[in-house]
Every structure is written in structure tokens, then in C-alpha cells.
Amino acid sequence: MRNDFVAVTFWLVIGLSFSIRSATYPIGSLYRPGPGFVPLILGILLIVLSLVLFKNAKRSRSFQKGTFSSSPGGPKKVVYTALILILAAFLFETIGYLFTIFLLVAFLMRAVEPQSWRATLLTAFSAASAIYLVFDLLLKQPLPRGPLGI
């Protein structure tokens, strides 16, 4: 239960700090959001999700017993994830944003939580396609393109 309480407290503090800090910027409206709109929404979302986590932690005995450090390869998975994210941050302008997202999702699905190749490739392609659809086509925001033009 202690690990659950630490996680709930951490996310609750982050959510509250996002919400409080966003009040220093104009919030705007739903149709004309200001710079404080997204941090406010994210802060509220983090607060709600931390309260849901707290509710689940109190209700479920198995959730209370399972800790991160006792899961197989737990700390190693965190290191893999952090390294893959750092590598992706450095590569996205060099090899292109979409190709980086494809590789990021694929590596995370194979190295951190091994999945079948079919599921890995399908999910990586879907994630890259969804990002392209939303940002490049719908929002008309150009993404960094690599040497292949993608």
C-alpha cells in the first residue's frame, strides 16, 4: 500500500502544480484556448486519474501487493524506456519524425513489454499514421522530414 500511496501522492502533487501554475496564464475558452488551457486540463486529468488510482489501490489486494521492484525486469524496463525516448529525441530531426515514431513504438513494444512482430508492426504503423493524419493533414503542422522525405 505504501508504493500505491507514494504514486498517488506524486501524481496528485504534479496535477495540482500544473493546475495552479496554469492560473498564471490566460485560460481562454474551449474555442479560443489560451496558453494556460492545456496545462489546466492536464492538471485536472492528473488529479482525477490519481484519485482513481487511489480508489483502485484501496479496493484491490493484488494491486496493493504488486510492486514495481518485484515485477520481472522492472528497473531494467525503465532504463530501456528512458534510453529509447532520449535516442528518439535526438533522432527525430535527422531521420524524420514519422520514422522515429515508428521505431520508438516498435522498440518499446519489443524491448520493454515483448509483443508479437505482427502486433508490434501494426501498432507502430498505426501510431505513425495517426500522428501524420492529425498533425500534418488535419492541423497543417509540418513535421520534420528525414532524408527519405517522410
Across residues 80-98, what is the average pLDDT?
A: 84
CB 74 within 8 A of CB 68: yes
Same domain, 61 and 78: no
CB 64 within 8 A of CB 74: no
CB 19 within 8 A of CB 47: yes
In a domain, 134, yes or no: yes
Same domain, 112 and 56: no
Domains identified in the chain, total number: 2
138: left (phi over 0), alpha (psi -120 to 50) or beta: alpha
Mean pLDDT, rounded, of the chain: 82
Same domain, 56 and 103: no
CB 47 within 8 A of CB 17: no
pLDDT in tens, 100-142: 899 999 988 888 778 899 999 999 999 999 988 988 888 888 8
pLDDT in tens, 53-70: 888 877 765 444 545 555
Same domain, 57 and 103: no
User: Model pTM?
Assistant: 0.54
Q: Which residues neighbour 113 within 8 Å (Cβ) at sequence distance 6 or greater?
A: 77
Same domain, 58 and 80: no
d(CA 80, CA 92): 18
Distance of CA 114 to the CA centre of its chain: 18
Same domain, 16 and 57: yes
Same domain, 50 and 81: no
Last residue of a domain, one of 23, 44, 65: 65
pLDDT for residue 2: 62
CB 135 within 8 A of CB 141: yes
Range of the domain at 126: 74-138
In a domain, 126, yes or no: yes
In a domain, 148, yes or no: no
